[in-house]
Structure 1
Amino acid sequence: MFKQLKLLDQAQVNEIKQIASQGQFVDGKISNPHSKVKNNLQLHDLDAYNKTSKILHDALMSNPEFNDFAFPEKVAPPLITRYQPGMHYGLHADSAIIPLPDGPIRSDISCTIFLNGPNDYKGGALHITQGEAGMRFKGLPGTAVAYPSHTLHEVEAIGEGERMVAITFIQSRIKDVMKRNLMYELNEVAALEGLNMKHENYTRMQALQYNLMRMWMD
């Protein structure tokens, strides 16, 4: 259900941060005014947003691991957010429908892309709950974590420093998270072990992959 990715090299991270440093950041509630748990800043500069979101979007769409895991149909332009001391984003699930200028998308997968290092700030972990358990993520610059949008998650309060990330939402060709994960696992096994199988069995596995995709893909 979760996938950690190496998405950007250091030059790309530096370019994104340099562009963002010249843009205006405003209260994150501008995009969710009724939220009682959102306390962060987000990039609110059209030129900087267009430039950074293109770099991030292109990196996602050219990343084989991301494509194999997410089966992306549509990807929202990634948005840079900042968290300074005392800021947090309380426990929430992401909205099912994300409005965009060219039409809404369904959020099946959420993705956080880390732009500064885990030692650059205290606190601020992305905490994703799983029943009574949970997972915490503070990635290296240029890494990302993708996770189901329906999960309850939060950004824990910042004690010191600054947390800078980009966030985006993905509409998958396979809407059901269980089916999507089964398809991913089957494709991984076929890629890793397929050439070791007898040809007739590999052919049968391929037919199974293709037919499941026909059944499950929107």
Structure 2
Amino acid sequence: MIENVLSPAELAKLRDIAARAQFVDGKISAMGSTVKNNVRVGDQNAHRQAAQIMIEALYRNEDFRVFAFPKSISQPLLTRYDSGMHYGIHVDSAFMPAGERSLRSDLSCTVFISDDSDYGGGELRISLGSYDVKVKGKAGSAIIYPSTTIHEVESVTSGSRLIGLVFIESRVANTEQRELLSELFEIGAIQAEKMDIATYTRLQRVQENLLRAWGDPD
């Protein structure tokens, strides 16, 4: 979980955009789905405004950049779950539209716009091997998880769950390699002041050469 991705001002703006926007059936992006029951913003002007706010917030967040190594991200989509709505177990599509090209969905990201106290139920449940993780983030936070996982949004029992939904193509497609690199960069950030310059330079050499070996610059 990444805290404070969105500022209070950005949260207020996104909520205002959502309050004035038209929403349409979420199945428009998953025709024939029997498990999807939500609504998404249908107003293109509102979509562009909201997407720009979330894109800027994500890219300025160092934790997001270091964890995801983003090569390309989809336009964040305002999505709402009202009482009784849910999204049953599913796996995200391998390729997503991103302007004039498609991106490979390595990572999925939920940006929480409603506060967790604004609605009942609505947990994001992610299956990770033999155990499940349930997530219900505070307003302004974001959760990033592999798009390859089976996951669902459990039924909202009261209120409304407003989120931004983002798909990320990473420069490091392999999940294990990406996680190892992320951990190395995190260790470097935490320990940098305690290292002498020679040791820190050696760590940087490992980081950057692994990124060269595993990463996609294009």
| TM norm structure 1 | 0.95
Q: Which residue of 37, 50, 53 maps to 2:51?
A: 53
Tell me, yes or no, if the aligned pair for 1:92 and 1:153 is still in contact at 8 Å.
yes
- Matches of 1:10 and 1:197, distance apart in 2: 36
Tell me, yes or no, if the aligned pair for 2:73 and 2:98 is still in contact at 8 Å.
no
Map 1:1-218 onto structure 2 (within 5 A).
Answer: 3-218=1-216
What is the DSSP-based 3-state SS (H/G/I as helix, E as strand, rest coil) of the residue aligned with 1:167? strand
- Matches of 2:72 and 2:3, distance apart in 1: 19
Identity of aligned residues (%): 43
Shift of 1:20: 1.6
- Matches of 2:120 and 2:201, distance apart in 1: 52
Shift of 1:4: 2.6
What is the DSSP-based 3-state SS (H/G/I as helix, E as strand, rest coil) of the residue aligned with 1:6? coil
Shift of 1:191: 2.1
Tell me, yes or no, if the aligned pair for 1:122 and 1:158 is still in contact at 8 Å.
yes
Shift of 1:198: 4.3
| TM norm structure 2 | 0.95
Shift of 1:189: 1.3
What is the DSSP-based 3-state SS (H/G/I as helix, E as strand, rest coil) of the residue aligned with 1:94? coil
Query: How many equivalent residue pairs?
Result: 216
Q: Deviations over 1:195-217 (max 9, x none)?
A: 43344333322221121011000
Superposition RMSD in Å: 1.3
Shift of 1:86: 1.3
- Matches of 1:68 and 1:61, distance apart in 2: 10
Gaps of 5+ in 2: none
Shift of 1:31: 0.8
